[in-house]
Structure 1
Amino acid sequence: MSVVLDPAAERIPAPPVPAKPRGRTAALRRFLPYLRPHRNKIAAATALAILAVLTEIVIPLLIARIIDGPIAGGHYGSAIPLIAVVLALGLLQALGTWGRRRMVARPAAEFEVAMRAKIFGKLQRLAIGNHDSWESGQLLSRAMDDLATLRRFVAFAGPFLVLHMVIVPVGLLVLWILIPPLGAAFTVLAVPIVAACYRFVQRYEVASRRSQDQSGDLATIAEESAQGIRVLKAFGRGPFLAARFVRQARELRGTEMVKVRLDATLWSTMVGLPQLAIVFALGYGGYAVVHGQMSLGTLVAGITLATFLQWPIIWTGFLLSELNDASTASDRYWEIQDIPLLITDPPDPDPLPAAVRGDLRLEHVRFAFPGARAEVLRDVTLHVRPGETVALVGAIGSGKTALLNLIPRLYDVTGGSLTVDGVEVSRLRLDDLRTVVTAAFEEPVLFSASVRENVALGEPEATDADVRAALEIAQATEFVEQLPWGLDTRIGEQGLSLSGGQRQRLALARAVLGARAGGSAGRVLVLDDPLSALDVDTEERVQARLRSVLAGATTLLVAHRPSTAALADRVALLADGRIVAEGEHDQLLRTSTRYRELMGGA
């Protein structure tokens, strides 16, 4: 992945997505079908939470009876049954809290896993052009951080929002019955609380989205810096990237401080206003008790209930923050899911021929990268016969790699026809097409897995003997045997623990294994300058072994060296978006000035 060193570089804009449904929670509601399998457990957990909290409303009423009855009358023994009921309710509350946590934990975790799998699957199905339009950090933050936020909402914030919608009205109703003036005071104070909540939601939503986007940008810089550490060290640009990272981290900190200030304002409102009602209850209640207008037990019950009610009100501020974060996370999640798939299986696919020959034909093919105005390929006509090897030669930027990407449908042609055995590649199922087409790219991509897993990526059923045979052809056996655990050695992320030539030979071995699986006849090999990182001696040995593989497969390979072009039965010269010359390597050296210049005058 490239490292962007331009301090003025802007974040690459994401591609347009379909308009979201209106409403702040519309994106959250789209998850309901995926929560439906867990609805019974989530509903039961919420019911347990409501039951546990309702006991806190009943307990003050029992305390009032204890104070006004047995304690006021001096009959302390008769208070024991009521005290036992209070203890039982306290135990019920504890069991309800324990049960809620136990019941909601698994559904929330399973929901998170299912949504992670869904977004990972979507990322795998998106066209390469879509991936080119997104920064990797943005995709990573949506698949990881945003889903963790959604899991917390499902497990905690969501059920408690429902809980408070039940508990606060019930508590206020009981308070109105016990002490009507105190109930009225709480109801009046609800107006500024609601206004504060409304203002908070409007402003926090913007800050929350900005924060999560900035987190994605920061993840991109961290990832690119880790992957490009060799380049940064070689050019001494580590301090520059560090300064850029710190600058964006400070921007994120500023956004987080905006969120903190909004939270602080809301929390102070939520905490302060209910205290006014409690102060009013103490003053009014004390006066009423002294003048015989209210019993002491009723006052104690009312103040206890008012104290209890202030906590759901206070926690509403935190829950609203979580709701906004979850709403923003769901918006970002569905932005990925709503991207239309550009490269898919056709509705009514054509079958592969019973006997695949590997006849590859391009007729008047045109191609432009998504969003680009200029076409890279304008009128390419090329026929690669079954079992033939054709080298594709051209200047840098002539579209060689783009042309190769069209064959396995990593991109789709924008005009013309591309067929395998007479069937348009767009008419084949992607799995069928990519079973026939095997590719190796100039920039070898390896995964944090064993050597065996990397080489057998396209043929997971391959035996160790198959893998070793492919490594032998790619001249990779010697260095693989020197690795600490041979085929079982994990080669590290992107294979950066290996040299460029070693990585390229493993990628070539992967392509060779794919071509040899079930016999190379009928297979289409697409090789993007597969020997560019090899020294002359190793290249010569690889070529000698590679000829046996190419002999049975239809091969189109990009070549920059005369030795690579000499591997081919025929060479096609690509220039100005079209094939301008074809012939054998030696023939083109004699007849084409442009080809001779590209081959260095060989």
Structure 2
Amino acid sequence: MPSEHPAQAPSIAPPSSRAPARSRNLWRLRPYLRPHRKRLVIMFSTAILGVGVSLTVPLVTRAIIDGPVTRRELDLLVPLAFLALGLSISEVLLVWMRRWAQSRAVSDLEATLRHDLYVRLQSLPMEFHNRWQSGQLLSRVTVDLSTIRRFMGFGLLFLVINILQLVLVTILLLRLYWPLGVVVLVAAVPIIVVSLKFEKKYLAISRRVQDQQGDLATRIEESALGFRVIKAFGRREHVKRQFDDGAVQLYGTSIEKVRLASRFWTFLEVVPNLTLVVVLLLGALAVGREAITLGTLVAFITLMLSLIWPVQSLGTILAMAQEAMTSADRISEILDTRSSIVSGPEQLENPRGHLRFENVSFRFTPDSADVLHDINLDLTPGTTLALVGATGSGKTTLTALVPRLYDVTGGRITIDGHDVRDLDLQSLRSAVASAFDDPTLFSMSVRENLALGRPDATDAEIQQALEIAQATFANDLPWGLDTRVGEQGMSLSGGQRQRLALARAVLAQPAVLVLDDTLSALDVHTEALVEEALRNVLAATTGIVVAHRASTVMLADQVALLENGTITHVGTHGELLATVPAYRQLLAAEEEEVHA
């Protein structure tokens, strides 16, 4: 039966951690700001009103100096003093309201972004995670999110406020005394030019720093997870040198970034101070010639002083903006990635486990050769198939196609007549359980690890699964099934981890059970006990068992020999042993390796 799905290779783009920053930057995050519009409106409104209030104070000061002080108009002193007091109280209240709205909006934004990033990472297929370093992903979820939060909570607001203040103050300065206002405008020209050049350079170097932080995080994570291998081979110094090389590279780039920023910030410190000296000199001469009043000069100087912090903070804010843009771009690389594996509309009701491979082929990328091709198998409910093949023949890849860890690129796989691509992923993966040769346990209790595939399992069912997998040792752990097994289950032996992973798959009571060389870490005695118990489990389900030993093959009703990416022979163990020399040689080689 022809497939309705076009044959296409997965299309997850490779990580672009070395790619230049793209133009979408912070604008990409605008959907996350929409739910917080009210708070953002309050935040910016109160900030703008605060700027207006702060700029009114110098004008009131001017009125006090030119009125009650200079012309002895004492009847105006009390009203003007109360006006100044009222303005000060108003500014305090506006700052409080701004900070309240700001903290809530930014915290909610960060929480939403972190949630969506985690959900997206969980939804992306195996191909994506195979291509990306875990340290790069970790740095995006932690460091980059924190960078965005800091900018949204401080930099963005003050960037808007400071630009508004610069414009308004410049207009007021020109109105108070335009010759001095022109001096201030002329001083602003080099600041604008240098700021534009700084922005481009800082953006590039910020991206390099953040990428190198991700690389260093990957080295740290790999060293932590592989510490037993490092110690066993005495490679502590070698790994340390690798870490030092990465740390020195990051240090050098960070110092380059600091030097760039420090030169720019120094420039921003010098120009306003030189301008202030010139304005004081020319202003004093203007007062002496009675071109302006003393109150006007005091107001002019006060307003100009209010520009020093916005100008000096411009370097910090622009640096934060560039880092936030780079972080937003790095986060967008994940958020914009679309999974090639999309949940289908159909539900698998009361699955029986009739599994079929129809002319299945698979390749990892559109340009690569087929890893699998012309795979045809028909497993009726209750059938167990042993999949045998040399290392690298594609056994693990074939089993990964059943729960759609990868999608076929040709042909189709059906369960009970449903193309797996048409099934809801939750429904499909509830019907298919897998146990892998390299078992993964999480930093949680044994009970929680076992119940991942079936949270509603009873204690009796958990114990039954442990007995089948010969994993009852879990009951003797310090706190029984509530004992935490540590990250990656490293507190357990390889065989113990493998048996718990097998118990987890058995506990799920799937319609299709995939065992990918799950017994490889067991001793011969334990393997025999597990196999005996598994016979009853496999009798009630459809099973695919990746096998290397003759004892494991004996669990199966049928055996399929995988050679050069395709199934070359299917039959019972006895039939293949008698008629297929390649099968006989493969099992003999495996047995020799086991007993070596």
Q: TM-score normalised to the size of structure 1?
A: 0.91
1:413 pairs with one of 402, 408, 423? 408
- 1:86 positional shift: 2.5
Partner of 2:307: 309
Partner of 2:487: 493
2:368 pairs with one of 361, 366, 373? 373
Alpha-carbon distance between aligned partners in 1 of 2:441 and 2:86, rounded to the nearest angstrom: 62
Partner of 1:231: 229
Determine if the alignment matches structure 1 residue 506 to structure 2 residue 500: yes
The residue type equivalent to 2:538 in the other structure is L
Alpha-carbon distance between aligned partners in 2 of 1:554 and 1:314, rounded to the nearest angstrom: 70
Partner of 2:527: 539
Residue by residue over 1:232-266, the C-alpha shift from the partner in whole angstroms, topping out at 9 and shown as x without a partner, is: 11111222121111211221222222221221222
Partner of 1:336: 334
Q: Is the 8 A contact 2:21 2:326 kept in 1?
A: no
Q: Is the 8 A contact 1:182 1:277 kept in 2?
A: no
State how 1:559-578 maps to structure 2 within 5 Å: 559-578=547-566
Determine if the alignment matches structure 1 residue 480 to structure 2 residue 501: no
Q: Which runs of 5+ in 2 are unaligned?
A: 1-11, 592-596
Determine if the alignment matches structure 1 residue 529 to structure 2 residue 527: no
Partner of 1:258: 256
- 1:532 positional shift: 0.9
SS of the residue corresponding to residue 600 of structure 1 reads helix
2:569 pairs with one of 566, 576, 581? 581
Deviates more, 1:183-192 or 1:575-584: 575-584
Alpha-carbon distance between aligned partners in 1 of 2:177 and 2:37, rounded to the nearest angstrom: 38
- 1:16 positional shift: 7.0
SS of the residue corresponding to residue 70 of structure 2 reads helix
Partner of 1:462: 457
Residue by residue over 1:272-319, the C-alpha shift from the partner in whole angstroms, topping out at 9 and shown as x without a partner, is: 111122111211122222333332222222111111112112212211
State how 1:59-208 maps to structure 2 within 5 Å: 59-73=57-71, 79-208=77-206
Alpha-carbon distance between aligned partners in 2 of 1:54 and 1:271, rounded to the nearest angstrom: 25
Alpha-carbon distance between aligned partners in 1 of 2:346 and 2:475, rounded to the nearest angstrom: 44
Percent identity between the two aligned chains: 48
- 1:44 positional shift: 0.8
Alpha-carbon distance between aligned partners in 1 of 2:479 and 2:529, rounded to the nearest angstrom: 25
The residue type equivalent to 2:256 in the other structure is V
- 1:54 positional shift: 2.6
- 1:78 positional shift: 5.6
Q: Is the 8 A contact 1:13 1:134 kept in 2?
A: no
SS of the residue corresponding to residue 374 of structure 1 reads coil
1:422 pairs with one of 417, 422, 431? 417
The residue type equivalent to 2:491 in the other structure is S
Alpha-carbon distance between aligned partners in 2 of 1:241 and 1:371, rounded to the nearest angstrom: 36
Deviates more, 1:44-53 or 1:214-223: 44-53
Partner of 2:277: 279
Alpha-carbon distance between aligned partners in 2 of 1:191 and 1:287, rounded to the nearest angstrom: 25
State how 1:6-25 maps to structure 2 within 5 Å: 14-15=14-15, 24=23
Partner of 1:9: none
State how 1:239-254 maps to structure 2 within 5 Å: 239-254=237-252
The residue type equivalent to 2:313 in the other structure is W
Partner of 2:537: 549
Alpha-carbon distance between aligned partners in 2 of 1:488 and 1:473, rounded to the nearest angstrom: 20
SS of the residue corresponding to residue 14 of structure 1 reads coil
Determine if the alignment matches structure 1 residue 209 to structure 2 residue 204: no
- 1:535 positional shift: 1.3
Alpha-carbon distance between aligned partners in 2 of 1:183 and 1:462, rounded to the nearest angstrom: 77
Deviates more, 1:574-583 or 1:232-241: 574-583
Deviates more, 1:224-233 or 1:414-423: 414-423
Q: Is the 8 A contact 2:21 2:329 kept in 1?
A: no
Q: Is the 8 A contact 1:360 1:383 kept in 2?
A: yes
2:399 pairs with one of 392, 398, 404? 404
Q: Is the 8 A contact 2:353 2:380 kept in 1?
A: yes
Q: Is the 8 A contact 1:129 1:370 kept in 2?
A: no
Q: CA RMSD in A?
A: 2.2
SS of the residue corresponding to residue 41 of structure 1 reads helix
Alpha-carbon distance between aligned partners in 2 of 1:466 and 1:91, rounded to the nearest angstrom: 68
Partner of 2:8: none
Alpha-carbon distance between aligned partners in 1 of 2:358 and 2:31, rounded to the nearest angstrom: 46
Q: TM-score normalised to the size of structure 2?
A: 0.92
Alpha-carbon distance between aligned partners in 2 of 1:57 and 1:230, rounded to the nearest angstrom: 65
- 1:500 positional shift: 0.5
Alpha-carbon distance between aligned partners in 2 of 1:112 and 1:409, rounded to the nearest angstrom: 32
Q: Is the 8 A contact 2:386 2:544 kept in 1?
A: yes
State how 1:16-35 maps to structure 2 within 5 Å: 24=23, 26-35=24-33
The residue type equivalent to 2:515 in the other structure is L
- 1:38 positional shift: 0.5
1:447 pairs with one of 418, 442, 446? 442
The residue type equivalent to 1:567 in the other structure is L
Alpha-carbon distance between aligned partners in 2 of 1:337 and 1:16, rounded to the nearest angstrom: 13
Residue by residue over 1:501-551, the C-alpha shift from the partner in whole angstroms, topping out at 9 and shown as x without a partner, is: 111111101100112xxxx6xx01111011111112221221222211111
Alpha-carbon distance between aligned partners in 2 of 1:75 and 1:578, rounded to the nearest angstrom: 102
Q: Is the 8 A contact 2:117 2:335 kept in 1?
A: yes
The residue type equivalent to 2:287 in the other structure is V
State how 1:388-399 maps to structure 2 within 5 Å: 388-399=383-394
Determine if the alignment matches structure 1 residue 590 to structure 2 residue 578: yes
Q: Is the 8 A contact 1:232 1:238 kept in 2?
A: yes
State how 1:319-358 maps to structure 2 within 5 Å: 319-346=317-344, 349-352=345-348, 354-358=349-353
Q: Is the 8 A contact 2:21 2:204 kept in 1?
A: no
Alpha-carbon distance between aligned partners in 2 of 1:243 and 1:91, rounded to the nearest angstrom: 59
SS of the residue corresponding to residue 531 of structure 2 reads helix
In structure 2, the CA distance between the partners of 1:297 and 1:480, relative to structure 1 (3 Å rule), is same
